[in-house]
Structure 1
Amino acid sequence: MIDPEEPLEVQVARQARIIDALVRRANRQHEVGGTAYGAFQSAIALQAQVWAKTRDLERTTDALRHARDDSERMRKNLADALAALDGGVALFTGGLLEVCNDIFQRLLPDISERLRPGLEVGACLAAMAESDHLVTVEGSFDAALAQARRGRAGASVVSLVIELTGDRWYQINLQRTSDENLVLLLTEMTGIVRRNRSEKESLIDRQADYLQAVFENMTSGVCTFSPVGEVMMYNQQFRQLLGLPYTILQKGVELERMLDYVAQHGLITEAAEHDIAHWLDRLERQGRLRRRLRHASGRMLDLHAHRLPDGGVLLELKDVTLESRATVMLENRVIERTAELTRANAQLRLQFEEKARVEEELRLAKERAEAAVSSKTRFLAAASHDLLQPINAAKLLIATLLDAVTDTRFAPTVERLEGSFTSIEQLLHSLLDISRLESTDSALTASELCLGTLMRSVWEDQTPLAQRKGVRLEVVPSMVFVRSDPIYLLRSIQNLVVNALQYTPEGGRVLVGCRRRGGRVELQVWDTGIGIGRKDQKRIFEEFARADNVPLGSGMGLGLSIVDRTCRQLGHQVRVRSKPGSGSVFSIEMEMVEGRLAEPEERCERSPPAAYEMEHIVLLVENDVDVLYAFSQKLEQWGASVLAARSIDEALEHVRDIGMPPDIILADYQLDGGETGDVAIAEIRRACSAHVPAIMITANRGDRLMKQGAAEGFSVLAKPVQLARLRSLIEWKVRWQAPAD
């Protein structure tokens, strides 16, 4: 019935109520029992219970008395501890004042009677704010209390600084010690404030002395005025420069009085009195003023006036007499120099007119030269077809003748004849290449191309030459994509390989391959030839230049020049490494095209495939009779059935006669009567109602026809035709591009 965990006061009260209830019960039983024995028995039982409860009550009363003694002793110890502190302390429990020390209670005498236990913390701070002894508060009591209550217990400290009467200063710190307790600490800081104030005043005095010393040692005159226009600080230089008496320039003298004195006594000779009167107005409107003045003594002064942040005025005077004189001298010299320059300008104008006349003559000469170069280029381009036509016919006839005289006494003669025409062909190609590279209106066209395709084409073209010389030619195609001109890059690789084959003795070796270097690829041509000396390695890239160890009759020295010019225009780098007697390495370094994956590399075979009968119907369209005859002879020698035509109409007539599409079309580009090979291919395909494989043979070396061929599905071969490439290309196109049935 009694919880031992409850406070002692509650336990005592509960026991008293139990005793009263037992007594009342005993009285009722006595009244109802009716017998003396029952009453006696009840009285004895009740007496035992009363004695037991009385003992419990006495023990509880003793425990309560000890607890009160401990509480009083703890409170006295806390009060002694608070009284021993140097500052004022007030402890609030549950937002109510629990205890405070004497320093806190006597701090504000007019509210000390209100500082009693149970006072709410907000009411305590409000009473402090209403005290007559409080002068100022840096902050707000309410805001500080709200911030302290929001802060984390045991960590957040909110500080206020208050000023009391008698120049006393205290700092109030509010801190939560738990969720329900708040402590106010008062720390006196009067000594610190007074000491800081004294140091500040001393520092200000020292700064004023320092500022005055700076003013006195300045080369310019300085004077400051208060917001009401009275002199505050000045230096002697200001007085001396302006020539003011001591009575006019003193601390407290008004600015207007000083300006009136200057105007009345004519200290500024070139400034009218009304101008001086408007100085202040302009200074008020613009905030600054600048004037160059002539003093009565003859000195030149620069006046600078500025508004200070507090509304005052700063005047600064500088003696610029020497500067002014130097300016006058400089202006005189400028006038003299201007006259000289005017005369020189007239002479230069005459020279310029003469120069313009000469430049015009040079421009006209340059235009004539460019016109001559363009005319030469156009002539070579137009004549290339006529020049290459007989060479092409001769090469075809010589190839046919060579096959016919094999194993006869005429074979060496025909071979020498073939070599001569090959040299003529290479020389003509070199001249055409140089003409185009030097042309002002013809630039190389770069496009994305597979390097391995060009390398394999060079291998196919140069393998017969290598076999005749007894040199082993090996090519390892690198199937990476680069950006270059397909025609001229092919010509450059061919020139390097031809040079390597030409200067490599019988039994030697020429290797063509690539090395990748980061984002670039380097095409290299290795040979085991005669090599090149160090002094000749730069000279060999010039026109008609050859190394000293090259035998006479080995060429005109144009191939490497074409390679160098081509690579410079395409942004490629050409290098050579060589040693006499140990061979050479020529290389062309190019950037690879990003995003284009290289195809698997396949090494070229050591020898071309064996010849076999070409059992195809070939429709040959060629306007030149000699070339038509030579082509027909060679194709028939390969085993082909040739339908020779000199025009589109003849070709269409052959198609109608045989009643079926030919296996392949070979067409020259330039035909008679304005007809062209691309039109011939299109008309024949239309007449056959089939996409007949076709090869365009032309002397046109531009890339426009190659792009057209790629779009319309025909291949392009340049004249003079390489027979090995022609035969393999015919076989490939007939096999893979034959017309559908």
Structure 2
Amino acid sequence: MIDPNEPLEVQVVRQARIIEALIGRAERSHELGGSAYSLFQSAIALQAEVWEKTRTLEEALDTLGRASGELEVAYRSRERTEKTLADVMVAMEGGFALFSEDRLQVCNRLFRQLLPDVEPLIQPGLLLEDFLEALRTSRHVRREGGRDADALMQLSTRRRLSSFIIPLRGERFYQLSLRKTGAETTAVLLTEVTDIVRQNRQEKRLLIEGQEHFLQTTFDHLALGICTFSARGEVQASNERFAELLALPLSLLAKGVSLTRLVEHLERHGILQEEGVRLVFPGWFKSVLRGRRVQRLVRRSDGFALDLQAHGLPRGGFVVTVMDVTAQTEAADLLERRVQERTAELTEANRQLQRHAKEQAQTEDALIQAKEAAEAAHVSKTRFLAAASHDLLQPINAAKLYISTLRETVGSDRARDTVDRLSRSFASIETLLQSLLEISRLDSTGAEFNITSFCLEEPLRSLQEDLAPLAAQKGLALHVEPSSAWVRSDRRYLMRSIRNLAVNAIQYTQSGRILIGCRLRGQEISVQVWDTGVGISPENQTRIFEEFTRLGEGGGGSGMGLGLSIVQRACRHLGHEVRLQSRRGRGSMFAIDLPMVRRPGEMRSVNRAQPVEPMSPHGGLDLIILAIENDPDVLHAMTQRLDSWGAGVLACASTEEALTLMEDIGTPPDIIIADYQLNGEDTGVQAIRALRAAARVEVPAIVISARSSKDLLQLGRDEAFSVMKKPVNLPRLRALIDWKTRPQVA
């Protein structure tokens, strides 16, 4: 029933009314009747409530008393603060006003009386913006170009922390400052700064005068002539150097003299010239007044060169500078003459260089042509040797056949010795020719290689069987360590390279032994040839791989010096590294490093069509052999050799003759031996095909060729004929004939 937020006086009145109502109710209840006990209970309850309300009322009266005391203290404190503020405001030298919510609350006398025409407006409740507007329009405020009034208006609209100097009439100055002292309270201060402003202006004036003196002193000591003009073209300041360089009297450079008088004087006396013509100024200064920069190189009538420049100034007017550039001009002229002379010299030198370059280009063209001719000659030589291998080997092949036949016919020892010597001479010729042809094939761009995987065991064993007699003739021990390693390479070229290294070791070893073996080096196999020969000095270990190089260190070599060159060329094509270790007098070790491969699951021959040839059989050949050879001498020698073996030989020179002979005898031969290159486009392969087609039987066949190319070997495998290389190895031929004509076991 009583709101605790209401004032204490209101709460006390309401409590009194509540008590009075309760007492009246008790009295009315007593008058209405009831038992004495119920009345007694009601009186007790009513008395308890009265006591409670009385206690509450006493507490409220006590609280009201304390609040009244505190309020009295606050009123006294406020009076003291207002009195102190009034005393402070009176004691302040400047004007002070306090605005709350943009309305004037209090101010001092100076603030009110500063501007007489504004004083009537200075009353409590005055808006701050109205005060600033009245200040802006006051007749006592001195205006300087309207800037002060505009600034006051901006001050009234921005309403933030600001200060501004207000100039008053009579050369008095006040600083107006606005300071925010609270969220809704602004303090305005008016402080007189007349003395400070006057002192600043005095210092500024003195500084300007000092700067003018300093500037003039600087002008006078410059080597550069300088003169400044106002926007109306009147002299402002100049130095003596300006008058000296332009030959002007000092009277024309007095302050206020117009530019027109200076120009008239210069033009009248013809003092300045530009490129030999009298200088005309009007166009110059029109450009300068438009804000452009003008620069001219002119000469005085006495020959002095001057650099004349005119620049516009930021606030109007312009400055003219003159500099004596006679020395620089003369130096530039001298430099230009020297440049011209140097240019002429360089032009001549360039002409000479062009002539030399042309001669050099002609020389280079000649060298290129000579190089191309040499390369063409090399290619021609290579092609010639490759193409002529058949014709070169034909007579040697015939000679070997004749010598073989002759050895079996002579009876005396002396004649047999002569035949043996003759056989060795032809063997040397054959070796040399084979080496030359091998090099030509390796140097040609179309060198063919048959890269396969094979086991080293059988080739190394064959190598030992071939070289053992040669080593035995010199009393050397030849030992080949067997190896079951499988490698990937061209079997023919690899074994030819190992054979050349072994033969070379035998030739240059006088005593001791030769060892051929294999060593594992990571994922590679190193085939090594060791000897106990004379060794190779360090300076010769590179030279020995050149063609026709025989060192003669020990006098053991008898070859032509081509073996190691063939080894290096072949291994370079195959990607195998060739290594050499040697000590003079202790022997040498040559090694060929080649990739090792896994052993295949099934042993297969590299050339299934080429059989493993057995040893030469004894006894005669009871066979009909059709021999096809276009060279009469070779055909005659081959016929005699086959006849000596007991065979019946049908000799012819072409496919057509072979077909005629087979038709005449009415039966196919037992075996065909055909030279690959016949007359014209006829070949031994065509002859075998034609004979087999005519006989309707796959007659055994052997093709003899000077070049056993990869394509020919593959063709032999495809068409079931064997390929032998010229010159023919007769024991191998005898064994091959016997093997190919042997009856096949079903």
C-alpha contact 2:132 2:152 (8 A) present in aligned 1: no
Moved more, 291-300 or 32-41: 32-41
2:372 to 358, 370, 373: 370
| SS of residue paired to 2:249 | coil
Aligned residue number for residue 225 of structure 2: 221
Q: Which residue of 2 aligns with 1:57?
A: 60
Equivalent position of 1:157 in the other structure: none
Q: Please tell me the residue identity of whatever aligns with 1:246.
A: L
Whether the 8 Å contact between 2:578 and 2:591 is mirrored in structure 1 is: yes
Of 365, 380, 383, which aligns to 2:382? 380
- Render the CA deviation track for 1:54-83: whole Å, top value 9, x for unaligned: 1221343256457768988999999999x9
> Could you tell me which amino acid in structure 2 is paired with residue 51 of structure 1?
T
Deviation of 1:384 after TM superposition, in Å, equals 0.2
Contact 1:472 1:509 in 2 (8 A): yes
2:320 aligned residue: 315
Aligned residues: 598
**In structure 2, do the counterparts of structure 1 residues 515 and 169 end up closer, same or farther at CA, with 3 Å as the change threshold?**
farther
Counterpart residue number, 1:637 = none
Query: Which of 11, 15, 21 pairs up with 1:19?
Result: 15
2:493/2:570 contact within 8 Å kept: no
The change in CA–CA distance for 1:274 and 1:613 in structure 2 (over 3 A counts) is closer
Q: 1:340 to 1:274 in 2, by over 3 A?
A: closer
- For residues 27-46 of structure 1, give each alpha carbon's deviation from its aligned partner in whole angstroms, at most 9, with x where no partner exists: 66257533597897787456
- The alignment-based identity, stated in percent, is 24
- Name the counterpart of 1:261: 265
Question: For each residue in 1:431-454, what CA deviation from the matched residue of structure 2 results, as whole angstroms up to 9, or x when unmatched?
Answer: 4545x5xxxxxxx799xx99xx79
Deviations 1:97-137 (A, max 9, x none): 9999999x989999998999xx9xxx989988997599859
CA distance in 2, matches of 1:54, 1:524: 129
The CA deviation at 1:289 is 2.5
State the TM-score, normalized to the length of structure 1: 0.52
- C-alpha distance after superposition, 1:551-571 (max 9, x if no partner): 553655567778999999999
Structure 1 residue 373 displacement after superposition: 3.9
Deviation string for 1:208-259 (max 9, x for gaps)? 7777666555544344445554555544433322222223234555544433
Q: Give the superposition deviation at 1:646.
A: 9.0
Instruction: Determine the C-alpha separation between the residues in 2 that align with 1:463 and 1:73.
Output: 136
Give runs of aligned pairs for residues 37-52 of structure 1, distance below 5 A. Answer: 44=47, 47-52=50-55
Relative distance call for 1:608 and 1:279 in structure 2 (3 A) is same
SS in 2 for 1:318: strand
One-letter amino acid matched to 1:287: R
The residue correspondences of 1:158-237 to structure 2 (distance < 5 A) are 162-165=163-166, 166=173, 168=175, 218-225=222-229, 229-231=233-235, 234-237=238-241
Q: Deviations over 1:365-402 (max 9, x none)?
A: 8636634641441342144033168669989999xx99
In structure 1, stretches of 5+ residues that fail to align are: 146-159, 176-180, 437-443, 481-485, 590-598, 617-621, 634-644, 655-666, 684-694, 724-741
Post-superposition shift, 1:534?
3.8
Shift of residue 19 of structure 1?
Answer: 1.6
- Does the 8 A contact of 1:496 with 1:559 survive in 2? no
Tell me if structure 1 keeps the 8 A contact 2:517–2:527.
Answer: no
C-alpha deviations, 1:183-230, integer Å up to 9, x for none? 999999999x99999999999988877776665555443444455545
TM-superposed deviation, 1:295: 0.6
Distance across 2 between alignment mates of 1:678 and 1:71: 139
The answer as to 2:25 corresponding to 1:29 is yes
Tell which structure's C-alpha radius of gyration is larger: 2
Q: Does 1:244 align with 2:248?
A: yes
RMSD: 8.1
Q: 2:296 aligns with which of 291, 300, 303?
A: 291
Of 52-61 and 457-466, the range deviating more from structure 2: 457-466
Cα separation, partners in 2 of 1:611 and 1:216, compared to 1, 3 Å: same
Indicate the residue corresponding to 1:178 in structure 2.
none
The 5-angstrom pairing of residues 286-365 of structure 1 reads 287-307=292-312, 313-327=318-332, 352=355, 363=365
Aligned residue type for 1:302: D
Give matches, 1:188-587, under 5 Å: 218-225=222-229, 229-231=233-235, 234-250=238-254, 253-270=257-274, 275-283=280-288, 287-307=292-312, 313-327=318-332, 352=355, 363=365, 367=369, 370-371=372-373, 373-387=375-389, 421=430, 424-433=433-442, 436=444, 465=463, 468=467, 470=478, 502-503=504-505, 506-508=513-515, 532-537=536-541, 539-540=543-544, 544-545=548-549, 549=553, 551=555, 553=557, 580=584
Distance 1:216 1:261 in 2: 23
Shift, 1:299, TM fit: 1.0
C-alpha contact 1:268 1:294 (8 A) present in aligned 2: yes
> Is the Cα contact below 8 Å between 1:90 and 1:100 reproduced in 2?
yes
CA distance in 1, matches of 2:392, 2:540: 37
CA contact (8 A) 1:263 1:273 kept: yes
Structure 2 CA distance for aligned equivalents of residues 359 and 511 of structure 1: 55
Take 2:187 and 2:728, find their aligned partners in 1: how far apart are those partners? 109
Mapping for residues 136-151 of structure 1, pairs under 5 Å = 136=151
Paired with 2:202 and 2:687, the residues of 1 have a C-alpha distance of 112
Contact 2:227 2:320 (C-alpha < 8 Å) held by counterparts? yes
